[in-house]
Structure 1
């Protein structure tokens, strides 16, 4: 019986496809480093460390999906995007994935580019796009912030899970017991429930931080609608 590991295990996707996504992930992370350096300041740098540590902890909650080495778990991309922005957020999640693969054997090292693409890049980007949209239409109250965090986290998990389907279609090597549409439905359904849990954790965390230190919430600083109040004005998120 195969040992079930977090993320995509070695051998699930063939080498050429894994290499292509490794190169894509490296190029994108390089862009994140260059862009993220502009955002780093005395507030964001320590916050990034805390976010990475928190994501590492919540990703230890693991849920098996298939019996051939694929599993689901909380991702943290939307949480990172809200607190430290999409560029630094993607780097935080990537660092967690690298440590897990190299130190704890969670996810295959050869599949690291795939896992980073799905969880750090697709998950964080999808979450931030929804955050940017929702914070422009919802009131910046505790309720509005909670809804934004919950919805963005839930959807980011589901969208990230579909990255695996594309990769499996391009170079899957293991029979997962269903056609592509069936696999996509299984992944989406399983991650929908995982996303609910992630949404609740993300909403609770972000609202708590916003009530105490709204200046530490990147989304409140960086996403201001026209004629919107400043961070100081929304600092008392109610």
Structure 2
């Protein structure tokens, strides 16, 4: 659903840019509360994983494909504010390095693909986990449904933006019908990927899933034939607290390392190898634009001359090698950029001084 340059006029693009900038400023503040010792090491990895999976277009209908948007996945794994930042980092990397999504349309893409998908999906997710049984399976089910809703929601918002600032004279009713129809199908793929990923992480490290916090059930004891909550554990003696904190700090990052390495390797394999087998059909927005004539005023991307444009490495003739190298470079650039952003936000929260040099 990456909107190219030329689809939306300059005033509307500028307005969405201002809206996106304001939302990112709010997200930076909110992320300071979300990025703790559990989420901070993983946020950059989540951005890299989303980048990798977005390269895997899957067929949804005759001549049409879809790909992950990632708002629901990021919000549930690391929190809604951090999730908006994760998807925004991905969009920035894609626009600058790979000529995917217009640079003048960056505000449109951040608004639609990062903000709308994250806000809508997390609102649906929180509502569902409040009424579903407090189990890990419920978190996975809620993830599926939240992701499913987020994609057509993004399609609706694009249609509204196009109704305000579209550059071609096309029936908005036709655009809405086509966009929502195909993105409902894409939403099924989004929901499946999101639920499988959340389910995999929650199976091995449920404490690292932001959306699963506070869902554990208290131990029940049977007293005189009735079930009652077990008493909370007694607090640790004051003298033991510093030692306990020291042990936790000493083991904090090594405990995250296996999952981080596994996630990075998975992202590299998906982007570097599996992406070669992705569907070559146009994605939902691309197909609708072609069918409805929205693309008549599309403009050449400012980064079209990038050595990584169109997810291929310039001057590498072998298509498999060229695409694989581009994917690996993209994952590496995204994890570095994302990690730098999130560690900087984390330092602002903790007040740790930045290292010189």
Q: How does 1:1-238 map to 2 (within 5 A)?
A: 7-62=2-57, 73-175=67-169, 178-221=170-213, 229=217
- Which runs of structure 1 show a deviation greater than 2 angstroms over 4 or more consecutive aligned residues? 61-65, 140-143
Q: Which string of whole-angstrom CA distances, capped at 9 and with x for unpartnered residues, describes residues 1-57 of structure 1? A: xxxxx6111000000000000010001100000111111122111211111011101
Quote the RMSD (CA, aligned, Å): 1.9
Change (3 A) 1:98 1:64: farther
Distance 1:147 1:63 in 2: 22
> SS at 2:5's partner residue?
coil
Residue 64 of structure 1 and its aligned partner are, at CA, apart by: 9.9
Q: Note if contact 2:56-2:67 (Cα within 8 Å) is conserved in structure 1.
A: yes
TM-score normalised over the length of structure 2: 0.57
Unaligned segments of structure 2, at least 5 residues: 219-357
Q: Note if contact 1:7-1:72 (Cα within 8 Å) is conserved in structure 2.
A: no
Deviates more, 1:42-51 or 1:164-173: 42-51
TM-score normalised over the length of structure 1: 0.85
Q: Which has the higher contact order (CA 8 A, sep 6+)?
A: 2
Distance 1:63 1:143 in 2: 26
Q: Note if contact 1:11-1:174 (Cα within 8 Å) is conserved in structure 2.
A: no
Residue 117 of structure 1 and its aligned partner are, at CA, apart by: 0.1
Count, aligned residues: 214
Q: Note if contact 1:10-1:109 (Cα within 8 Å) is conserved in structure 2.
A: yes
Q: Which string of whole-angstrom CA distances, capped at 9 and with x for unpartnered residues, describes residues 185-215 of structure 1? A: 1111111111101111111111111111111
> SS at 2:12's partner residue?
helix
Unaligned segments of structure 1, at least 5 residues: 1-5, 66-70, 231-238
Distance 1:93 1:28 in 2: 13
* Larger of the two Rg values belongs to structure: 2
Change (3 A) 1:209 1:75: same
Change (3 A) 1:173 1:159: same
Deviates more, 1:143-152 or 1:161-170: 143-152
